[in-house]
Amino acid sequence: MSRIKEFNLPDLGEGLTEGEILSWLVKVGDTIELNQPIVEVETAKAAVEIPAKWGGVVTRIFHEAGTVVEVGKPIISIDTDPSSGPVPTEPAPTSLETQTTAAAAAAATTDTAGGEVEAGLIGGPAPGGRTAVLVGYGPRTTSAKRRPRTGTATSATPAATTTPPAAATAGTPAGTPPTASPTPAPAPVTRPGLVLAKPPVRKLARDLGVDLATIAGTGPLGSVTRDDVHQAVAQARSAPDLDVAVEAAPAVTLTGGVADAGTREQRILIKGVRKLTAANMVASAFTAPHVTEFLTVDVTRSVKTLEKLRSRPEFAEQRISPLLLVAKAVLLAIKRYPMVNSTWSGETNEIVVKDYVNLGIAAATERGLIVPNVKDAGRLTLPELATALNDLVRTARSGKTPPADMTGGTFSITNVGVYGVDTGTPILPPGEAAILALGAIRPTPWVHNGKIKIRQVTTLGLSFDHRIIDGELGSKFLRDVGAFLADPKTAMLTWG
């Protein structure tokens, strides 16, 4: 068994297919221990540190920081027995082994049109002598015929040698006819309507809006690689727009200087947490019929209660904020109205009411909005809840929230008041029936005991899934949350 072991990027949960390497915590030549963190990877869920699967010496790092790597691809190799001296080289295969391997590879990589397909591409070889295929479609047993692309000429020959337009005109000024080169570079062999590329590369091209047919692949047998796609995007952004006349007037800045529009725009690739959040919000907004209700509450007594809690030894090392009492109010109100803490299941045609509350707290991070949750928050005491909320927010802001903490939420709170916003109409996290927005607490003229006084006032906004929660239930729930915040001492004594 080889001493050198390759560590593949693991599946970090919920069918994630790729991750971006944020930073390496080790380098080639380092001696590492079992379970020592070696790399920080960002997925569509969060940034996580991955521990080493073996102890030993790092012999190779396959990808630099900033690279997006597919799950299952090697990221690092480790010499698990460095004390045994230099790593022995693998013996060369015998003549019979060489012939057998070559014959098997040739048979596996030759398609019905007479061409060869690289290992890993659809129709190419896979471990165990199998053929790489799309799941559910089986290996190809007959020649495939594709419909000609719109606007392209067809040919009766099975293969044609073409020169990509970008390559033919590279380095030629606009408006100048290309000149023939005495030693033209060999053009890749292509088949009409067929572009060789691995499925992840095709997905990347779709996400970036790139037509693979316009790219001259640099991979084996002319297949298109990730680098080819990224290079095509970079060339498209830097290339001049040939549809615009050369005499067109240049853009002028406010100060009268000439400006390049490209230097005044910033393009941010949608990936990771932001990409998943966007997909979830779109799915939620167009799946669950949202209703939002608002309630303005005098929270002066809640503010005074927080001041008293800060002086108690149980909260001495905790950061106490209005969010703590809002969370407690929500947990107590859910006990009175369990239907608020439920999920609509279209697959089974059921409403699933949860007997536990995984309380989600929306947190803004550098990588986008995430909603980690406190597991079984209803069973926590007030000091335990304060600790859990502080830990949750601190971990989220550091970018270290594990994927497990971002799944399974049942009810969420978003505190827009920290930004000075009065309230909002939040969108439900997928699978949840309600979400509460906490607005800013402001000194406001308020009628109290028949007189106008300056009181601490806030506005709550409750969005809920109208398939599960009707107006009456939503109104009662919001009313009780407001009643708790108006007089938390009495509510905890009578509700708790």
As annotated, the active-site residues are 466
Q: How far apart are CA 276 and CA 370, in angstroms?
A: 10
Q: How far apart are CA 273 and CA 80, in angstroms?
A: 34
Q: How far apart are CA 417 and CA 315, in angstroms?
A: 23
CA dist list (Å): 453 to 113, 263, 305, 440 = 86, 54, 19, 19
In 68-135, beta strands by DSSP E: 68-70, 74-79, 125-126, 130-131
CB atoms within 10 A of CB 215: 22
Residue 341 dihedral angles phi and psi, to the nearest 5°? -100, 70
DSSP string, 228-291: HHHHHHHHHHHS--TTS-TTPPPPB-TTS-B--GGGG-------HHHHHHHHHHHHHHTTS-EE
In eight-state DSSP terms, residue 57 is: E
Residue type, 13: G
Residue with structure tokens 């607490």?
441
Grouping H, G, I as helix, E, B as strand and the rest as coil, residue 367 is: coil
Nearest to 419 by CA among 471, 369, 373: 369
Q: How far apart are CA 236 and CA 16, in angstroms?
A: 30
Enter the tokens of residue 327.
């969370």
How open is the CA angle 301-305-308, to the nearest 5 degrees?
Answer: 145
Which residues, in sequence order, are bridge partners of residue 116?
Answer: 110
Q: How far apart are CA 39 and CA 48, in angstroms?
A: 8
Q: Are 133 and 125 in contact (CB under 8 A)?
A: no
Residue 374 dihedral angles phi and psi, to the nearest 5°? -85, 115
DSSP string, 185-235: PPPPEEBTTB--B-HHHHHHHHHHT--GGGS---SGGG-B-HHHHHHHHHH
Grouping H, G, I as helix, E, B as strand and the rest as coil, residue 343 is: strand
